[in-house]
Structure 1
Amino acid sequence: MKNLIKISVALILLISLGGCKKFLQEELKTELAPTNTFTSTYGFEVGSAGLYALTRSEYNTFGEGGAYIHNAACPYEALQAATDIADVINSDASLTAFANLTLTSSERFVGSYWNWAYSLISSANLMLVYSEKNTNWDSPADKERFQAEARFFRAYAYRTLVYLYGDVPYVETILYDFKLNFTRTPKAKVLGHIVDDLKFATQHLPVNPDQVKDGKLTKWAAYHLLSEMSLAQGDYTLAEQSALAVINSGYYQLMKTRFGVSKDKAGDVFSDLFVENNQNRLKNGNKESIWVLQFEFNTIGGGTNSDDWTRRAWIPKYTDISGFVLADTLGGRGLAQLVPMKWWVGTAGTNASGNVTGIFDATDIRNSNYNIKRNWYYNNAGDASLYGKKANVTEQTWFSTKSLFPAITKFFYGRAENLSLTGSYKDRMKFRLAETYLLLAEAYLGQNNPSKAAEAVNEVRRRSGAQSISAAQMTMDFLLDERIRELVGEESRRFTLVRTHKLVERVKAYNTAIKDKVNDNHLLWPIPQAIIDANRDAPFPQNPGYIK
């Protein structure tokens, strides 16, 4: 396994990253090549492992063996910036233009997300082309299984492209010749290709999640993504059918009782979902996880210190305050790149029942101190005058210094042996059943069936102890609030708001820093200027509202 992972990453680096520099052209540089790799089932396992590595590198920052790197600190945070959930204005310089709506076509992440997606697409296309040439399979079903994986990952990459850029070139084969005349394929047509790929994947990926390794795809992950992309396409019936296929499969369930490595410690079932090592089905019995990206600590094929800096985004810089020292129990080293807005998270104080409201019911465990840390106590034993006393959250510590504010604990991560770690080293639930229910609710709203939508949402709310809602309460805004309560930080909030056609409205309602600036031009990012400049032989128009 160790050698397979090393070979696969090397292969992916060779066959895909070269294509980023010349848009979508393949350029082979060593004897390790598709012609001598994709010649057996084992060779396709190598290529498959590379696709998983490249997919995980969506979260990579500065490298350290990643299959792709953004070469800057906060790519994930750019997908949360300028939405309705977090203040990002006073954050890392790489986020400034995203946060204050001054993006240009030369901004780093504008280019790196494009290149990451097309790297994944070109690698998937390569595997698909060579799967048609290969005749040396261990099993008759191997060909379709690897094609299903490749088509899933191609669909996943185009998902990012259509959300961020709209119309993009659709490429489904290897490009051997250097091209300077790409054209932008209409978003609706790309969505059609995405749906076709996912339909194929639902038919040929493994059925039983108990018979695949942790992190590997099953047909249910394809159905989950098919539900989401059918919503983006406006096909609410297919979205409903796809979500129900997962829910009624018999393999998944919302976790409703304590489980995993910390089940006997203080906490609740929602916090259990995010405890280190609790994400995978086989290791700890998490039946809610549908697809989990593998980032675990000190594991071949796991995470690096440059992978998934989500923890640093959502956790305050508490060590800037005298009386605090780094601690794993406080989430490790936080940099507060994303500061939760008061409208949904509530305030730092407590009401008579000991709970903070925000958009949560008083009984909602997702609002408990196990899941949103509001009470902070000085932990530096060397400072006897403060040790053990409560530190106050103020407007200044929340929004100016960003040193103390309510923190999303699902992203806490720290290791006592190295508290300065930057990476989270914790497996990431990319798809889980709670979101499938919320996609189902979205599908029902699209069919003007708020009663059914409320039933789907109430499945999720009952697990959290929140009050059930009625059909009269079931609106798209309520559903978007529910996605915050359940999925904040897990979902790419920009994607959700673009899909539901709510980005401008919600930003105007909740993001005071940019409410007077946001308009429909901000629904998309600009096309990277390097792509426009390289495409000399055909027009490649920029998205509205952006200039060079």
Structure 2
Amino acid sequence: MINHATKIGLVLSMAALVGCSDFLEEDFKSELAPDNTYTSSLGFEVGSTGLYAMARSEYNTWGEEGAFIHNGACPYEALQVATDIVLQSGARDGSLTPFATLTMTSSSQFVETYWKWAYGLISSANELLIYSEKNTNWDYPTDKALYQAEARFFRAYAYRTLVYLYGDVPWVETIKNPFELSFTRTPKAEVIAHMVDDLKFATENLPENPDEVKEGKLTRWAAWHLLSEIYLLQGEYTLAEKAALKVIDCGYFDLVKERFGVNKSKAGDAFSDMFLENNQNRSSGNTESIWVMQFEYNTVGGGTNSDDWTRRAWNPQYYNISGFVLADSLGGRGLAQIAPMKWWIGTQGTNASAAGAELPNGIYEEKDMRNSNYSIKRNWYYNDETMSTYQSKCTITDDTWSVGKLFPALTKFFFGKAENLQLTGSYKDRMKFRLAETYLLLAEAYLGQNKPDLAADAVNEVRRRAGATPVADADMNMDYLLDERIRELVGEESRRFTLVRTGMLVERARKYNDDVRGVIDEHHTLWPVPQSIIDSNRGAEFPQNPGY
């Protein structure tokens, strides 16, 4: 299915405008060609499966059958660096460095691959939509609307990335035949309006009950959640409020407040339980997950070792310190290509510089559940039984932090398999949308309406679950909300998207990020358009973003 989705998904990809005529004229005659796949409900289920596979391929990297797009450092890292949360660590990767230092150009790797990924997903969604209008062989009368709703959700989801990263981009809702080389840039506001239409259709036609769909499948509540975010991007704060409340008040989801799942009887807490392997889906007792991307280990339809490398991004290279050996209990094999900033994660348990000593817990209260040692590993003990240091504490220092060998680590990205400790990817399912973020979107909507008291109420739903002190109305502002999103969602959200949407990217990066403080300005809120797109679009002018 991945191979088929790749073919049909990249036919219309704007990145394919480089003019490979043989590829563009390929006549698909395999048994999975669209003409003989989209002829029944079963065929549309095959196509739908391809959309889910392409969506989760955003997180992939080197090698294996699923990694057909990026082939570099985990591209998701490029949406975290040059913000207010991480510095590129000493464990550098050349494909990430231009984004961490804001020296990326129109030819930088992820500039093109994110464009290609998004338009590949869009073209596959468009193809399904076109064939759904031709097909008359449905198992159930509701199948046509169902598969159209999934396709329109994924089209909006892909355009979400495009407008955040590039601004004005071509809106495409059909298959161009003959292939078009004269695209123009559709104004961002117009693209967002189309996205809203797609998501409104999805809210009306996706399934309602999350307990009656397969794990990982979309429901209308995922569409409402994403619609709330897109309304915020549009500046429609009242509509964003109403969309978020649709999810919060639907009766299907609750913030996880009690222990559950695989380690329920072991030491831990309710927040960290959500990030243990096999605890992301509703079947495990997770009532908070709205949409979960499926990456299960050794499971048909699951992921590969290259499909999700976020563990490689966040976890330290402790195993390069004498006295340590690889262990699943220590998070497996991370590569520490990014490292958390001290201002928010704190320096508790380290002998890091005195500059950070005033905030040992960073932006967390000590009692905050999200600050517990089950969520942030601050104490590291040598685990090599052959060494005299066995079971003694290894101290985190400025040096171990700066080169990526040891720092306070987020356990939400820990993953390891005793039978293959060299794994660098993660097979853990990814909670893409969860209810805590819906509350924080609601708070953002209230701030947009100048209602800090109601914003504080929404944030305090999340803080009470964490056992943290409620925020006072007078302290509730966008900076506080952005800090709260770190406490709750760090590493889960695409931080660049959040800061661009709220208009805070430049301000927060200048305040917290030494790598880019003297470099970043407003033009960095967008990436450059890939040069290959500009060069290949021979039939019309395709202007570059300002500053590139």
Q: TM-score, normalization: structure 2?
A: 0.95
Q: Does 1:152 align with 2:146?
A: no
Shift of 1:164: 0.4
Please give the secondary structure, in 1, of the residue aligned with 2:443.
helix
- Give the counterpart of 2:386 among 361, 366, 382: 382
Q: Does 1:507 align with 2:509?
A: yes
Q: Does 1:368 align with 2:372?
A: yes
Shift of 1:89: 5.8
Please give the secondary structure, in 2, of the residue aligned with 1:192.
helix
The answer on whether the counterparts of 1:79 and 1:494 sit within 8 Å (CA) in structure 2 is yes
Give distance in 1, aligned partners of 2:497 and 2:25.
29
Q: Does 1:461 align with 2:460?
A: no
Question: What residue number does 2:340 align with?
Answer: 340
Q: Does 1:29 align with 2:46?
A: no
Question: What residue number does 1:532 align with?
Answer: 534
- Give the counterpart of 1:359 among 353, 363, 368: 363
Question: What residue number does 1:319 align with?
Answer: 319
The answer on whether the counterparts of 1:324 and 1:378 sit within 8 Å (CA) in structure 2 is yes
The answer on whether the counterparts of 1:26 and 1:175 sit within 8 Å (CA) in structure 2 is no
Q: Does 1:19 align with 2:19?
A: no
The answer on whether the counterparts of 2:349 and 2:395 sit within 8 Å (CA) in structure 1 is no
Q: Does 1:262 align with 2:266?
A: no
Q: Does 1:349 align with 2:349?
A: yes
Please give the secondary structure, in 1, of the residue aligned with 2:456.
helix
Map of 1:436-515 to 2, 5 A cutoff?
Answer: 436-515=438-517
Question: What residue number does 1:10 align with?
Answer: 3
Q: List alignment gaps of at least 5 residues for structure 1.
A: 1-7
Question: What residue number does 2:519 align with?
Answer: 517
Question: What residue number does 1:5 align with?
Answer: none
Residues 125 and 67 of structure 1: is their aligned pair in 2 closer, same or farther, counting only changes over 3 Å?
farther
Shift of 1:112: 0.3
Question: What residue number does 1:4 align with?
Answer: none
Question: What residue number does 2:430 align with?
Answer: 428
Deviations 1:383-428 (A, max 9, x none): 0x200100011000001x2111000100000011110001110000
Question: What residue number does 2:99 align with?
Answer: 98
Map of 1:80-95 to 2, 5 A cutoff?
Answer: 80-88=80-88, 90=90, 91-95=92-96
Please give the secondary structure, in 2, of the residue aligned with 1:426.
coil
Residues 172 and 412 of structure 1: is their aligned pair in 2 closer, same or farther, counting only changes over 3 Å?
same
The answer on whether the counterparts of 1:260 and 1:272 sit within 8 Å (CA) in structure 2 is yes
The answer on whether the counterparts of 1:356 and 1:367 sit within 8 Å (CA) in structure 2 is no
Question: What residue number does 1:55 align with?
Answer: 55
Give distance in 1, aligned partners of 2:63 and 2:249.
40
Q: Does 1:45 align with 2:48?
A: no
Give distance in 2, aligned partners of 1:125 and 1:501.
31
Shift of 1:536: 1.1
- Give the counterpart of 1:416 among 403, 415, 418: 418
Please give the secondary structure, in 2, of the residue aligned with 1:81.
coil
Overall identity of the aligned pairs, in %: 68
Range moving further from structure 2, 488-497 or 10-19: 10-19
Map of 1:123-134 to 2, 5 A cutoff?
Answer: 123-134=124-135
Deviations 1:108-156 (A, max 9, x none): 1100000000000000000001111111111111110000000000000
Residues 378 and 350 of structure 1: is their aligned pair in 2 closer, same or farther, counting only changes over 3 Å?
closer
Q: Which runs of 4+ in 1 moved over 6 A?
A: none
The answer on whether the counterparts of 2:89 and 2:336 sit within 8 Å (CA) in structure 1 is no
Give distance in 2, aligned partners of 1:324 and 1:450.
48
The answer on whether the counterparts of 2:456 and 2:472 sit within 8 Å (CA) in structure 1 is yes
Please give the secondary structure, in 1, of the residue aligned with 2:433.
strand
Q: Structure 1 counterpart of 2:74, which letter?
A: C
Shift of 1:67: 6.8
Give distance in 1, aligned partners of 2:413 and 2:25.
37
Range moving further from structure 2, 451-460 or 18-27: 18-27
Q: Structure 1 counterpart of 2:505, which letter?
A: L
Shift of 1:64: 1.4
Q: Structure 2 counterpart of 1:376, which letter?
A: W
Q: Structure 1 counterpart of 2:5, which letter?
A: I
Give distance in 2, aligned partners of 1:67 and 1:215.
20
**For this pair of structures, how many residues does the alignment match?**
533
The answer on whether the counterparts of 1:74 and 1:92 sit within 8 Å (CA) in structure 2 is no
Residues 296 and 100 of structure 1: is their aligned pair in 2 closer, same or farther, counting only changes over 3 Å?
same
Residues 336 and 67 of structure 1: is their aligned pair in 2 closer, same or farther, counting only changes over 3 Å?
closer
Deviations 1:143-200 (A, max 9, x none): 1000000000000000000000000000011112121111000111100001110000
The answer on whether the counterparts of 1:373 and 1:408 sit within 8 Å (CA) in structure 2 is yes
Shift of 1:35: 1.0
Please give the secondary structure, in 2, of the residue aligned with 1:290.
strand
Please give the secondary structure, in 1, of the residue aligned with 2:156.
helix
Q: Structure 1 counterpart of 2:204, which letter?
A: Q
Give distance in 2, aligned partners of 1:153 and 1:545.
31
Shift of 1:529: 0.4
The answer on whether the counterparts of 2:332 and 2:416 sit within 8 Å (CA) in structure 1 is yes
Residues 424 and 15 of structure 1: is their aligned pair in 2 closer, same or farther, counting only changes over 3 Å?
same
Shift of 1:83: 0.5
Give distance in 2, aligned partners of 1:540 and 1:392.
53
Give distance in 2, aligned partners of 1:130 and 1:417.
45
Give distance in 2, aligned partners of 1:11 and 1:154.
18
Question: What residue number does 2:201 align with?
Answer: 200
Give distance in 1, aligned partners of 2:480 and 2:146.
39
Deviations 1:281-326 (A, max 9, x none): 12x0111000000001000111101111111111111011100000
Please give the secondary structure, in 2, of the residue aligned with 1:431.
strand
Question: What residue number does 2:186 align with?
Answer: 185
Question: What residue number does 1:219 align with?
Answer: 220
Q: Structure 1 counterpart of 2:533, which letter?
A: I
Range moving further from structure 2, 90-99 or 422-431: 90-99
Q: Structure 2 counterpart of 1:397, which letter?
A: T
The answer on whether the counterparts of 2:343 and 2:362 sit within 8 Å (CA) in structure 1 is yes
Shift of 1:534: 0.2
Shift of 1:15: 1.0
Give distance in 1, aligned partners of 2:525 and 2:398.
31
Q: TM-score, normalization: structure 1?
A: 0.95
Range moving further from structure 2, 80-89 or 500-509: 80-89
The answer on whether the counterparts of 2:272 and 2:374 sit within 8 Å (CA) in structure 1 is yes
Deviations 1:225-271 (A, max 9, x none): 00000000000011000000000000000000000010111111111
Deviations 1:344-373 (A, max 9, x none): 00104289xxx9420001210101111010
Q: Structure 2 counterpart of 1:388, which letter?
A: Q
Q: Structure 2 counterpart of 1:370, which letter?
A: Y
Residues 34 and 404 of structure 1: is their aligned pair in 2 closer, same or farther, counting only changes over 3 Å?
same
Deviations 1:468-497 (A, max 9, x none): 011101000000000000000000000000
Q: Does 1:394 align with 2:388?
A: no
Question: What residue number does 2:21 align with?
Answer: none
Question: What residue number does 1:230 align with?
Answer: 231
Please give the secondary structure, in 2, of the residue aligned with 1:339.
strand
Shift of 1:71: 1.3
